[in-house]
Chain A
Amino acid sequence: MSLTTAHSVVAPSANAKLIAGTIIVAYALISIVPLLWIFATSFKTPPDSIAYPPKVVFQLSIEGYCNLFTTRTRQTPEYINSLGPATGFCDETVRKRNMVIAGPSNFLPRFVNSLIIAFGSTFCAVFLGTLSAYGFSRFKVPLADDLLFFILSTRMMPPIAVAIPIYLMYRELGLSDTALGMILLYTAVNVSLAVWLLKGFIDEIPREYEEAAMIDGYTRLQAFWRTVLPQATTGIAATAIFCLIFAWNEYAFAALLTSGTAQTAPPFIPTIIGEGGQDWPAVAAGTTIFLVPILVFTILLRKQLLRGITFGAVRK
């Protein structure tokens, strides 16, 4: 047994595995250090966060999170003393810095904007992408190759090239600073990726499945729903993650087109720095929370994602 594996052409040797493993672990560690640093910073006190040399061991504090979710005003110690006892943990923390909580910050609504826009546009892009990929895969579309190339070519242009036209267009149409506008924009950007990825997946599903269903009395749409879609879930999940990551992280257009009610988290988080000195723990806290949805989504769909990335190579 050991002899055959040692000489096997396909199974990597123990040495190769060790080297590959070391490289992967090293790369993973290097990649995760900034994230760990952000995570740690979010639990530091503001003085600790800018201490030099940087503190690896520090006093745990949730001041960053308190500052993230609230707006505060500076008051005299006499005024603060004249108030009743602190109403909560954050209240107490803030008072130590001679501040009182004035109200909730904009972080929560901005975060919710991000959720609505990212998930909304992902849904639209995947929905439209699946239908058009199916169309391209199964029907004789006139000029299919040219159309597919055109769809892809929308991704070749640097986004900044169309920033000004889109800005003007959106202002004319009243789409500036609206969730609908951002969903439309991200859908338009993502749908090309979705069509291409999903076409690959749907091409791999033999058309005999739908044909069998259609012979058995299903309409094409019913056959698509009952036979193609269940087998395309892997591809759809992988595509959804790619679309979601793009829409979630997008900064340039969000900064240009949203400023108030529809502002997303990426352009909002940097503005935290300005409020009351350089509040790195609050920024780090915002970033940490910002990472959570993508993390959860990716972990939930990691199997599909892995198959999505390696598809063609290991799909049976």
Chain B
Amino acid sequence: MADVHIRNVSKSFGEQVAVSGLDLHIADGEFVVLLGPTGAGKTTTLRLIAGLERPDAGTIHIGGHNATALSPAERDTAFVFQQYSLYPHLSVYDNLAFPLRSPARKMPEDQIRRRVEDVAKMVRIHHKLSNRSTKLSGGEMQRVAIGRALVRKPAIYLMDEPLSSLDAKLRGDLRLELKRIQAELGATMLYVTHDQIEAMTMADRIGILADGVLAQIGTPREIYSEPANLHVAARLGQPAINLLPVGLLPDGGAPAGTQTIGARTEHLSIDKAANGHADGIVDWVEHLGDQNHLHVTVGAKKLVTLTDPDTALEKGDKVTIRYRAPLYFGADGQRLM
């Protein structure tokens, strides 16, 4: 394992800027998750590290060596692709053995067999080793794809939404398993997703990418509670953070220059209006089983928060709403405090 240091890397495809001025240091053994909407440049970032794309500017160091001009084979990375993971003409065993059989590696077959079997157990695909890779379910394919990265001990694992094609249950299981394996191996990992739960639960640090720019990087807690700007704030939290213009509700402590107030569930106290005065009207209570989403209309704005499953509030109720230390954003979208 090794650390990876990306300095000021940019990459454009014709007019389209995919990554712009990216600075990112992934420490040895660290699990970094890149989170961002579609087209943000997540895949491009991984491909730049793997050497599948050459940066237009900037340098990439892997394990202290300048890898910017090296070919993919010389960089010693392992990649799990977003799709098309397995070789359809090979069995599961041969798929897992493929990286070890590269002519550059010259690993003896018995050693390959041992390694493949170990990894097959790790990703729980041991019973299907002789199957054709096309005869697997989606979840099994994805496990093989992850296994194919794990058979090697590269400088860094690069994973591009490896769980995105799976159902929720399997995703949950594999998420935990992957985190466990990573911790066990002490592996350096750069993991791309646009699933915030994956990001929050697995990452040592989360990097938020937007339009090819790294908007913020920090621990999940930092990203969640101290977002650098409106975009980062909007990426995390379910339901999404409510962004309200200043003055819509009483906001005693708003610093000078505040334009937008960001309020998650924990930043709001909502109560049934007692007498006369009300800030909003309950629009809708959305029952999701273990929790409810409360939709409230405030003037021309709508608010969504979590409430208890047994909330007494109903559609049409008048409510009072107060901020509890919300997030304040200036006119440029940066957070003020």
Q: Which residues of A contact B (CB under 8 A)?
A: 206, 208-209, 211-219, 222, 226-227, 230-231
**Distance A227 CA – B85 CA, assembled complex (angstroms):** 12
Is the CB–CB distance between A208 and B83 below 8 Å?
yes
Cβ of A145 to closest chain B Cβ, rounded Å: 16
Is the CB–CB distance between A206 and B84 below 8 Å?
yes
**Distance A9 CA – B103 CA, assembled complex (angstroms):** 51
Which residues of the partner chain B approach A212 to less than 8 Å between Cβ atoms? 79, 81, 85, 148
**Distance A233 CA – B248 CA, assembled complex (angstroms):** 66
Interface presence of B1 (CB below 8 A): no
Is the CB–CB distance between A215 and B73 below 8 Å?
yes
Which residues of the partner chain B approach A214 to less than 8 Å between Cβ atoms? 52, 71-73
Is the CB–CB distance between A215 and B77 below 8 Å?
yes
Determine which of B72, B84, B85, B105 lies in contact with A215 in the assembled complex, contact meaning CB atoms within 8 Å: B72
Cβ of A120 to closest chain B Cβ, rounded Å: 28
Determine which of B85, B87, B88, B105 lies in contact with A217 in the assembled complex, contact meaning CB atoms within 8 Å: B105
Interface presence of B89 (CB below 8 A): yes
**Distance A227 CA – B99 CA, assembled complex (angstroms):** 12
Q: How large is the interface on B (under 10, 10 to 19, 20 to 34, 35 or more residues)?
A: 20 to 34
**Distance A214 CA – B72 CA, assembled complex (angstroms):** 6
Among A212, A215, A218, A226, residue most surrounded by chain B Cβ atoms (within 10 Å): A215
The proximity string for B residues 53-87 relative to A, scoring 1 for CB distances below 8 Å and 0 otherwise, is 00000000000000000011101011101011101
Determine which of A209, A219, A222 lies in contact with B87 in the assembled complex, contact meaning CB atoms within 8 Å: A209
Is the CB–CB distance between A227 and B102 below 8 Å?
no
Which residues of the partner chain A approach B300 to less than 8 Å between Cβ atoms? none
Cβ of B164 to closest chain A Cβ, rounded Å: 15
Known contacts A209-B84, A227-B87; is A216 also within 8 Å of B152 by CB? yes
Q: Which residues of B contact A (CB under 8 A)?
A: 50-52, 71-73, 75, 77-79, 81, 83-85, 87-89, 98-99, 102-105, 148, 152
Which residues of the partner chain B approach A211 to less than 8 Å between Cβ atoms? 50, 52, 72, 79, 81
Is the CB–CB distance between B73 and A219 below 8 Å?
yes
Which residues of the partner chain B approach A222 to less than 8 Å between Cβ atoms? 102-103
Known contacts A209-B87, A211-B52, A211-B72; is A216 also within 8 Å of B81 by CB? no
**Distance A213 CA – B102 CA, assembled complex (angstroms):** 8
**Distance A10 CA – B274 CA, assembled complex (angstroms):** 62
Is the CB–CB distance between A215 and B52 below 8 Å?
yes
What are the nearest 6 A-B pairs in CB distance? A217-B102, A216-B99, A206-B84, A230-B89, A217-B104, A208-B84
Which residues of the partner chain A approach B52 to less than 8 Å between Cβ atoms? 211, 214-215
Cβ of A311 to closest chain B Cβ, rounded Å: 15
Which residues of the partner chain B approach A218 to less than 8 Å between Cβ atoms? 73, 102-104
Cβ of A142 to closest chain B Cβ, rounded Å: 15
Which residues of the partner chain B approach A213 to less than 8 Å between Cβ atoms? 98, 102
Cβ of B115 to closest chain A Cβ, rounded Å: 13
Which residues of the partner chain A approach B152 to less than 8 Å between Cβ atoms? 216
**Distance A209 CA – B81 CA, assembled complex (angstroms):** 9
Which residues of the partner chain A approach B85 to less than 8 Å between Cβ atoms? 212
Known contacts A208-B81, A208-B83, A222-B103; is A215 also within 8 Å of B88 by CB? no
**Distance A210 CA – B330 CA, assembled complex (angstroms):** 48
**Distance A211 CA – B152 CA, assembled complex (angstroms):** 16
Which residues of the partner chain A approach B89 to less than 8 Å between Cβ atoms? 230-231
Which residues of the partner chain A approach B71 to less than 8 Å between Cβ atoms? 214
**Distance A104 CA – B287 CA, assembled complex (angstroms):** 93
Which residues of the partner chain B approach A215 to less than 8 Å between Cβ atoms? 50-52, 72-73, 75, 77-79
Which residues of the partner chain B approach A216 to less than 8 Å between Cβ atoms? 73, 78, 98-99, 102, 152
Which residues of the partner chain B approach A226 to less than 8 Å between Cβ atoms? 98
